[in-house]
Amino acid sequence: MIHSLFLINSAGDIFLEKHWKSVVSRSVCDYFFEAQEKAVDVENVPPVIPTPHHYLISIYQDKVFFVAVIQTEVPPLFVIEFLHRVVAMFRDYFGECSEAAIKENVVTVYELLEEMLDNGFPLATESNILKELIRPPTILRSVVNSITGSTVFAEIQGVIDASIKLSGMPDLTLSFMNPRLLDDVSFHPCVRFKRWESERVLSFIPPDGNFRLMDYHVGSQNLVAIPVYVNHNINFKESGSSGRFDVTVGLKQTMGKSVEGVIMTVHMPKVVLNMNLTPTQGTYTYDPVTKILTWDIGKINPQKIPNLKGVICLQSGAPKPEENPNLNIQFRIQQLAISGIKVNRLDMFGEKYKPFKGVKYVTKAGKFQVRT
């Protein structure tokens, strides 16, 4: 019945999505955004919006739109009632149903949604039943979350590049271990799209040479695993002309693979004249003109976590900076696809010779920003 659920904040950002059947592209929400623009206020957005292939049924609670995607005609009140049950469950578990509460408890949110629907149909919607299956967040867990911080937004933009050097007209079939992770997929024109829709395999007759076979997107609904963590303590004294800088970068989920090419850049406030720091690994530079700190860490040794700390020198008499700077991290991991996408097998038909086949994985940080 219900294919997907999108949670949209008042600014029009999709901050969470859940799919029970086939993955529905985020682009379906464009119809909702059009209706939202036409509405006088948020309360006047139509609860049922028809699109060429789906129906969008929504409710608005705690400054969050809960938008259900339906593929066939169903009683709208039935879906609306289910959405209100979801809201009630979130309030029961987290005390409120705000965007912040949902993001802070995102793991429990997905667990609840998975139990409340079975293949798109309501299954467990009673609080006492769900609490036997999924324990509510404890006070200790809430304290740990508030201390360590939480992921605001995470997604993966991935590509599959191919290098083909085969004679004749080989017909290739590429399958994945976990194709359901893939979302918002776009293909090279050689790919037979209908077979992908029905079997989730790539069937194609490749062109010669190097080409991009596929682009894909893995959204936050799959709980994107961030492979490194950053501990930071940056503060400026209320009076005086100095501050403290203490940052550590470590490994979190790398499947035993090495994290290389790690570089941290920080755009410091204008009142920072210089920085006297000591790195346990790598080298750092601070440009007093551009106010940019660059720490070239290189390869992280899991036995000795890199740390950079020291004194921040400020302009004398200048007011204390109102905000701490953000940390931007670059890194690279060879032979690991952090998205979890893995090639299962590659078969060739139409030719009798035996080809050489190989797969290389690499993870690169796109925009990895830590708010301090």
- Tens-digit pLDDT profile for residues 125-165: 787 778 777 777 654 445 444 444 766 777 888 999 999 99
Let me know if residue 149 belongs to a domain: no
Query: How does pLDDT run across 34-46, given as a tens digit for each residue?
Result: 888 888 787 788 9
Mean pLDDT of 292-308: 91
Asked if the structure places residue 99 within a domain, the reply is yes
Q: Report yes or no on 151 lying in a domain.
A: no
Show which of 137, 164, 180 is a domain's final residue: 137
Question: For residue 250, is it within any domain?
Answer: yes
- Quick one: tokens of 316? 């004398």
Give the pLDDT confidence score for residue 240 in this predicted structure.
66
Decide the pairing of beta strands 292-298 and 362-364.
Answer: unpaired
Q: Which domain holds residue 347?
A: 156-223+336-370
Rounded Cα gap, residues 285 and 272, in angstroms: 14
**CATH, residue 11:** 3.30.450.60
Q: What average pLDDT does the segment 168-181 reach?
A: 88
Helices (H), 181-235: 193-199
d(CA 253, CA 104): 20
Mean pLDDT of 211-224: 75
The answer to whether the CB of 69 falls within 8 A of the CB of 4 is yes
30 and 118 assigned to the same domain: yes
Domain boundary pick from 75, 106, 137: 137
Q: What is the pLDDT of residue 109?
A: 87
| Residue 143: inside a domain | no
pLDDT value of position 187: 94
Least reliable range by pLDDT among 52-61, 223-232, 295-304: 223-232
Same domain, 201 and 341: yes
Assigned token pair, 199: 């079997």
Residues 211 and 237 in one domain: no
Residue 120: Cβ within 10 Å count: 16
Identify whether 263 is part of a domain. yes
- For the segment 274-286, what is each residue's pLDDT rounded down to a tens digit? 999 999 999 999 9
> Last residue of some domain: 137, 170, 185?
137
Q: What is the CATH number of the domain that holds 250?
A: 2.60.40.1170
Same domain, 213 and 346: yes
**Tens digit of each residue's pLDDT (9 = 90 or more) over 322-349:** 888 999 999 999 988 887 788 999 999 9
Both 321 and 343 in one domain: the answer is no
Pair 201, 313 in one domain: no
Residue at 32 is within a domain? yes
Asked whether residue 126 falls in the same domain as residue 244, the answer is no
Of 343, 331, 257, 255, the residue nearest 298 (C-alpha) = 331
Single-letter amino acid code for the residue at 101:
A
Q: Are 65 and 113 contained in the same domain?
A: yes
- pLDDT (average), residues 47-54: 90
How many domains does the structure of the chain reveal?
A: 3
Bridge partners of residue 327, in order along the sequence? 266, 370
Asked if 251 and 228 touch (Cβ cutoff 8 Å), the reply is yes
Together in a domain, 233 and 293: yes
User: What b-and-e string marks burial along 133-162, b requiring 16 or more CB atoms within 10 Å of the CB?
Assistant: ebeebeeeeeeeeeeeeeeeeeebebebeb
The pLDDT of residue 91 is above 70: yes
Q: 243 and 323 share a domain?
A: yes
303 and 173 in a common domain: no
- The reply to whether 124 falls in a domain is yes
Q: Alpha-carbon distance 245 to 242, whole Å?
A: 10
Same domain, 97 and 242: no
104 confidence band (pLDDT: 50, 70, 90):
confident
β-strand pairing of 14-19 with 209-218: unpaired
Please name which of 27, 112, 111 lies closest in space to residue 67, comparing C-alpha atoms. 27
What does the alpha-carbon distance between residue 146 and residue 137 come to, in Å, rounded to a whole number?
A: 13
**pLDDT level of residue 224 (50, 70, 90 thresholds):** low
